[in-house]
């Protein structure tokens, strides 16, 4: 945590959400982490450091069931996590924001921007997405699960999916899969009403670069720049990857 950050807890429909807020000038940065990630990861910390060094506001939080927030991970759904993102954005940020989303956070960022645009809000100045994973519960999980795994989810309500990162298995629930279908984006063109910058690793085993390209084709009305990192993996957390991320953010946030 940087010296000027303020830690707080925000209630969202009975869920206890941990938030870190750094005061500063606009455009601020609004971080949306990935599936089973928290707000103290390498990219989130680098963005907070950039914001502090440049006098910019920065807000990051943990979804319910993640990090310092309350709740159980397996109770989470895309609807819950989107609701939390909207609540934190509405209540913890002011003025224009550059929304930065990683993996699942990219899906949440797109849903957030589309929702705010439908409200007539123009506070999302740009989206910077790292290995964005819209529709991942369907396209990257359900459609790839073999029949025995699908049957297990349908009959028991859960499946322990091994992690590629040596962590505990992910609990994939029937509620997560079914709720994800309410928020699918990649079946037709849609607009978020702001510039979109995408950083994607060509060696990403979790979110293949072809999946991110499907997103590009759906954003026909928006200003989109897609950067493919040929030797990059899913996390894109190496020093050179962080430099690319901060450069993309700076280009969107400066001048104010």
pLDDT in tens, 130-184: 999 999 999 999 999 999 999 999 999 999 988 766 578 889 999 999 999 999 9
The CATH number given to whatever domain includes residue 85 is 3.40.50.1820
d(CA 151, CA 24): 50
**What's the whole-number mean pLDDT along residues 67-71?**
97
d(CA 39, CA 54): 20
Burial class, 52, CB count within 10 angstroms (exposed 0-12 / middle 13-18 / buried 19+): middle
Average model confidence (pLDDT) across the chain: 95
232 part of a folded domain: yes
* DSSP-H helix ranges across the chain: 42-53, 78-92, 104-119, 147-156, 174-180, 209-218, 239-253
Q: For the chain, what is the domain count? A: 1
pLDDT at residue 163, as a whole number: 77
pLDDT at residue 2, as a whole number: 47
pLDDT band for 1, please (50, 70, 90 cuts).
very low
Would you say residue 73 has pLDDT above 50?
yes
pLDDT at residue 166, as a whole number: 59
168 part of a folded domain: no
pLDDT at residue 165, as a whole number: 64
**What's the whole-number mean pLDDT along residues 44-61?**
97
75 part of a folded domain: yes
235 part of a folded domain: yes
220 part of a folded domain: yes
162 part of a folded domain: no
Q: Which domain holds residue 220?
A: 6-134+188-253
Burial class, 91, CB count within 10 angstroms (exposed 0-12 / middle 13-18 / buried 19+): middle
pLDDT at residue 43, as a whole number: 98
pLDDT band for 60, please (50, 70, 90 cuts).
very high
Nearest Cα neighbor of 208 from 190, 233, 185 is 233
Handedness of CA 237, 242, 244, 245 (dihedral sign): positive
Q: Which residues contact 54 (CB under 8 A, 6 or more apart)?
A: 24, 250, 253, 254
What percent of the chain lies above the pLDDT cut of 70? 96
What percent of the chain lies above the pLDDT cut of 90? 91
pLDDT at residue 162, as a whole number: 86
248 part of a folded domain: yes
176 part of a folded domain: no
pLDDT at residue 121, as a whole number: 85
- Catalytic residue numbers, as ranges: 103, 204, 234
pLDDT in tens, 152-163: 999 999 999 887
């Amino acid at each position: 945590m940087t010296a000027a950050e303020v830690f707080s807890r925000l209630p969202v429909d009975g869920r206890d959400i941990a938030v870190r807020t750094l005061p500063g000038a606009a455009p601020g940065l609004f971080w949306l982490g990935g599936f089973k990630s928290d707000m103290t990861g390498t990219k989130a910390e680098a963005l907070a450091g950039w914001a502090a060094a440049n006098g910019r506001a920065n807000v990051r939080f943990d979804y319910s069931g993640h990090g310092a927030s309350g709740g159980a991970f397996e109770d989470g759904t895309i609807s819950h996590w989107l609701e939390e993102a909207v609540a934190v954005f509405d209540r913890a940020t002011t003025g224009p924001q550059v929304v930065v989303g990683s993996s699942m956070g990219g899906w949440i960022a797109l849903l957030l921007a589309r929702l705010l645009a439908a409200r007539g809000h123009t506070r999302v100045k740009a989206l910077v997405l790292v290995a964005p994973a819209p529709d991942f519960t369907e396209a990257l999980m359900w459609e790839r699960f073999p029949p025995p795994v699908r049957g297990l989810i349908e009959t028991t309500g859960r499946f322990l999916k091994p992690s590629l990162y040596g962590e505990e298995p992910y609990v994939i629930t029937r509620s997560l899969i079914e709720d994800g279908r309410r928020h699918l984006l990649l079946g037709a063109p849609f607009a978020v009403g702001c510039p979109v910058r995408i950083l994607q690793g060509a060696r990403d085993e979790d979110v293949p670069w072809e999946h991110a390209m499907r997103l590009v084709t759906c954003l026909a009305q928006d200003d989109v720049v897609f950067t493919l990192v040929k030797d990059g993996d899913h996390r894109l957390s190496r020093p050179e990857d962080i430099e690319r991320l901060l450069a993309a953010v700076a280009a969107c946030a400066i001048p104010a």
